[in-house]
Amino acid sequence: MLMMNREIKNTLLAVLIFIVVLALDIVTKSLVEQYISIYERVNVLGSFVQLTLIYNQGGIFGILQGYQRFFLIVSIIVFLLLIAYFILEKNKTRIFTVSMGLICAGAIGNILDRITGKPGVVDFIYIGSDEVFRWPAFNVADSSIVIGATLLVIHQLIEEKKRKQQEKRHQ
C-alpha cells in the first residue's frame, strides 16, 4: 500500500472539510429559503433557538448593513490570502488544516450568496431571548468561519509555545 505523505493527507483533509461544510451551508440555506418566509420564526428549542430567514446585506453578524459589494470584495481578497497562506505554510498541523478548511468553506459559502443575485447572505440561526439578548442571525458559513478562526488562533498559540521552548533549549 502506498503511503501518502503528511502534506498530501492534510491537503485532502482540508479539501474534504471544505466540501462537506460548503455543501451543508448551501443545503441548509436552500431549505430555509424554500420552507421559511422572510422574518418568520420557527422554534427549535423553545424560543431560545429559532430558525428564521434574514437576508444580511452587511458583514458577519449583520454589521455595516448595505455594504454588500464592499464585503464581497473583502471576502474574495481574504479568501485568496487564506489560500496563499495554506500553500505557503510549512508546518501544516492537523489543527491548522482543519481551521483552513472551515474558514475557506465559510468564506465561499457567503461569497456564493453575494454573487448569485440573492438580496444578501442568507442567515437563519437565531439564538437568545427577546427579553434579554438575541444574537444576530447567522448561518453554517458564519459558524464555520468562527470555529475555524478560533482553531487557527489555537494553532498559532501552540506553535508560538513550541518556538519559545526550542529557543530556550538552544540558549
pLDDT digits (tens, 9 = 90+) for 1-37: 445 687 888 889 999 999 999 999 999 999 999 999 9
Question: Got the DSSP string for 111-154?
Answer: HHHHHTT-SSEEEEEEEEETTTEEPPPB-HHHHHHHHHHHHHHH
User: What end-to-end distance do the CA atoms of the chain give, in Å?
Assistant: 43
Provide the residue range defining the domain that includes 87.
24-166
Distance of CA 48 to the CA centre of its chain: 23
Give 57-78 pLDDT, tens digit per residue: 877 666 767 778 888 899 999 9
- Is the residue at 41 inside a domain? yes
Which residues are the active-site residues? 123, 142
- State the amino acid at position 52 in one-letter form: T
- Is the residue at 12 inside a domain? no
pLDDT greater at residue 39 or residue 2: 39
- Is the residue at 151 inside a domain? yes
pLDDT greater at residue 78 or residue 168: 78
Q: How many domains does the chain have?
A: 1
Which residues partner with 56 through β-bridges?
A: 121
Of 19, 45, 36, which Cα lies nearest the Cα of 123? Answer: 36
- Is the residue at 148 inside a domain? yes
- Is the residue at 6 inside a domain? no
- Is the residue at 72 inside a domain? yes
Residue 122 above 60 pLDDT? Answer: yes
Mean pLDDT for the stretch of residues 104-118: 94
pLDDT greater at residue 66 or residue 143: 143
For the chain, what is the mean pLDDT? 91
- Is the residue at 16 inside a domain? no
pLDDT at 129: 93
- Is the residue at 29 inside a domain? yes
